[in-house]
């Protein structure tokens, strides 16, 4: 940046009267046409919600048989294994095992479950719980899940 010019009287040009002509040459800005050519570099598709779905599905299907063997070893063949979609409000005496994935909700994290629920398709979500549970205990598990309290994919959890 150039230092402020001085007039003949020794005053700063910026502090002097606008009528004082100290510059002999005035430059004007050259006008040019502008075309935005960045369109081909923009990512207009913002659908990142399904990027982890295949990982969760693969992990769930490969470990389900092993998990069910552990459940049968722990509680025997008398205990019923249910999916979350199969839960109903039943008597407190009925005991069951719920198998699946516990998911911690993160607001900005992509969610296949959100996409499926927005499409109106029934969600066959599986939860993991090795605890034999009454209806009240199952409701606690679901409440914790929907509140985002825990994230433990395919782990045995006892209440």
73-102 pLDDT per residue, tens = 988 888 888 777 777 766 555 778 887 777
Q: Is 70 exceeded by the pLDDT of residue 63?
A: yes
pTM: 0.34
The Cβ of residue 5 has, within 10 Å, a number of other Cβ atoms equal to 11
Give me the sign of the Cα torsion angle 36, 38, 39, 44: negative
- What ranges make up the beta strands (E) of the chain? 80-82, 96-98, 129-133
**Neighbour-count burial of 146, counting CB atoms closer than 10 A to its CB (0-12 exposed, 13-18 middle, 19+ buried):** exposed
- Rounded CA-CA distance 80/78 in Å is 6
Q: Is 70 exceeded by the pLDDT of residue 145?
A: no
- Rounded CA-CA distance 33/11 in Å is 40
Cβ atoms of residues 83 and 120 within 8 Å: no
Residue-wise pLDDT tens digits, 16-48? 666 666 655 677 888 889 898 988 888 777 666
- What ranges make up the beta strands (E) of 60-145? 80-82, 96-98, 129-133
């Amino acid at each position: 940046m150039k230092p402020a010019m001085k007039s003949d009287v020794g005053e700063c040009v910026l502090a002097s009267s606008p009528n004082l002509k100290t510059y002999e040459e005035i430059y004007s800005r050259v006008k040019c046409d502008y075309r935005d050519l960045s369109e081909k570099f923009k990512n207009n598709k913002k659908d990142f919600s399904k990027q982890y779905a295949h990982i969760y599905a693969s992990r769930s299907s490969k470990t389900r048989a092993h998990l069910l063997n552990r459940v049968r070893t722990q509680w025997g063949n008398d205990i019923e294994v249910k999916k979350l979609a199969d839960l109903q409000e039943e008597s407190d005496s009925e005991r069951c095992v719920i198998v699946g994935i516990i998911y911690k909700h993160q607001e900005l994290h992509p969610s296949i479950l959100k996409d499926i629920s927005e499409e109106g398709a029934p969600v066959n979500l599986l939860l993991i719980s090795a605890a034999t549970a009454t209806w009240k205990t199952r409701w606690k598990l679901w409440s914790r899940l929907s509140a985002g309290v825990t994230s433990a994919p395919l782990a045995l959890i006892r209440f």
